[in-house]
A and B are shown apart, each in its own frame.
Chain A
């Protein structure tokens, strides 16, 4: 059988968000600008960073994403995320290992609604004709610069932004919450993936990029819907996934 994650879930829960509800008010997020690069990563580190519920993909890779939300219920904000792509059963999902947001109200709401474990920092997105650049700084140090180089127009129907998995504490136990936004693309580009800067320790220390895959730069109407699936972090996802009934 495939390799499974080896994350010590109990230890990881110490720093995880405590979620009080699985029924948040959904958010509409129109006009989001997203730059995302995917790069292959060191296998052993990836296995150590994802819970036993998941399998690392073959080969393991991570996504490095910066999003500008011009409108949201808490006002405009930027969000940066680093996710290890894994398999929940056979389904590709991005397991969140680190996130930075540039707005205290957004950080609070994202944590309470969907279990985003974020820290607050400086996050920005610059769009140029030759590249889209997402930058993240904390305490005055740049910890991520993600680039989509030489973006070429593609059809948004070809873009596949994966759903996310967030490890949280809920009712005294560990739980993985799946966050599965919809995307309606206004623009889509594909380009070369570059990390101008990446400081692993600022993102949990597990992600060690090796070989670039590809980058996308898109403008999309998106959302944060009510969670539909949760899973037990310590059981294989095919056994431990539960559909949430609409309230």
Chain B
């Protein structure tokens, strides 16, 4: 089991000159600590226009700062939105490759398609098309990285032969992931040889069954790139405190804040009826997970809030389902003071990580060259 941290970069009102700067600087301080104490990955989303919920529209910039300020933690660029109105695929490939270079070959590359009308409508993207454009992009980008020159005649973009530069430091290319935005996306991932990000199903039993099916299907995949990333990562919240009741209380306050901010957004399914978005997406899945029936401690099953022993118990359930990694959200709208977030991270590293084999071992994917 590996543990990562995960950023939306949520910024509460009022948005004075310091508000966003404080959130970014606090996050970078957390990333530096996470790097020192043995977290494996830091992920930052790409979102646009999501007031308060996420002010992380240029994750490659934030992640470049993360890379420059750390030594070993892997850099999760994701998910990058694979919709042409948001990003040209060449620009995605170029930015990701540059990030891989400056991080010394630490890039994890996450892909997705956005699930909010706030974003899709803002860019005038057609929700019917986003799965299709995602598919075209994820097949093309590894070729841009591995072929000296690349040309393409597709539905969502076409281009004459050009050298897409730079090439990633990791050879043949960084691991590729897809965010779980709808039921069945884990099988899209498996069939393409990609890791699945954000595995949060209704129950542990369902998770276990879907993990098994993912493992079965990825054995026979037709990979989009030159490597297969046979990995499933779940998303969770973290607040770890020596006193369990206090940990649950503060952690659940953070979760409720996250839920409330996410609930203000216009989900694609709400505004634009389409088969392409049968559910409200990862935000809603994460909300549902966090809003599940609470145990006697007041925390829903599977959520990593409370004291170290309780958190170990919850995370062992995910491990038993076959999940390989858990990415943890540390704060929401600066609801938890920065010193407490850092204490929570440190306590997690000291007392929870040792209970999981391999939690601090380097992944070994980094180190480019041929």
Contacts and interface: CB of A to CB of B under 8 A. Distances in A.
Interface of A: 1-3, 38, 40, 55, 57-59, 61, 85, 87, 89-92, 154-155, 158-160, 162, 188, 190, 211, 213-214, 216, 238
Interface stretch (B96-104, B178-186, B269-277): B269-277
Nearest to B52: A2
B274 A154 contact: yes
A57 B260 contact: no
Contacts of A213: 117, 121, 271-272
B285 interface: no
B263 A90 contact: yes
Nearest to A211: B121
A2 B13 CA distance: 8
A237 to B, nearest CB: 11
Given A58-B50, A90-B262, A155 B117 contact: no
Contacts of A211: 121
A216 B272 CA distance: 9
A92 B259 CA distance: 14
B320 to A, nearest CB: 31
B327 interface: no
Given A40-B121, A213-B117, A188 B51 contact: no
A214 B263 contact: no
Name the residue in B121, B260, B264, B265 with the highest tally of chain A Cβ atoms < 10 Å from its Cβ.
B264
Contact of A2 (B260, B271, B272): B260
Interface string B109-124: 0000000011001100
A155 B259 CA distance: 29
Given A58-B51, A58-B118, A154 B264 contact: no
A55 B264 contact: yes
16 contacts: A1-B12, A40-B121, A55-B264, A58-B49, A58-B51, A58-B266, A59-B121, A61-B266, A61-B271, A87-B264, A91-B263, A92-B266, A155-B275, A162-B270, A213-B271, A214-B271
Of all A-B residue pairs in the complex, the 5 with the closest CB atoms, nearest first, are: A90-B263, A158-B273, A2-B264, A159-B273, A214-B272
A58 to B, nearest CB: 5
B270 A160 contact: yes
Contacts of A89: 260, 263
Contacts of B272: 190, 213-214
Nearest to B12: A1
B263 A87 contact: yes
B203 to A, nearest CB: 22
Given A89-B263, A90-B259, A154-B274, 4 more contacts: A59-B266, A85-B266, A87-B264, A158-B275
A38 B271 contact: yes
B355 interface: no
A171 to B, nearest CB: 30
Contacts of B269: 158, 160
A57 B266 contact: yes
A55 B52 CA distance: 13
Contact of A59 (B12, B52, B118): B118
A92 B261 CA distance: 13
Interface residues of B, number: 27
B275 A58 contact: no
Contacts of A154: 273-275
B260 A158 contact: no
A158 B263 contact: no
Nearest to B277: A158
B293 interface: no
Contact of B261 (A2, A38, A158, A238): A2
Nearest to A236: B260
Interface string B70-84: 000000000000000
Contacts of A3: 13
B51 to A, nearest CB: 5
A154 B260 CA distance: 31
A158 B50 contact: no
B215 to A, nearest CB: 30
B278 interface: yes
Interface in B3-18: 12-13
Contacts of A160: 269-270, 273
Contacts of B262: 90
A3 B271 CA distance: 20
Contacts of B265: 57-58
A216 B265 CA distance: 21
A2 B265 CA distance: 10
A38 B121 CA distance: 12
Interface in B234-267: 259-266
Contacts of A40: 121
A204 to B, nearest CB: 22
Contacts of A61: 266, 271
A92 B266 CA distance: 8
Nearest to A188: B273
A213 B121 CA distance: 7
A175 to B, nearest CB: 23
Contacts of A214: 271-273
A87 B265 CA distance: 9
Nearest to B53: A58
Nearest to B262: A90
A242 to B, nearest CB: 20
B12 A216 contact: no
A152 to B, nearest CB: 10
Name the residue in B49, B117, B118, B266 with the highest tally of chain A Cβ atoms < 10 Å from its Cβ.
B266
A216 to B, nearest CB: 6
Contacts of B270: 92, 160, 162
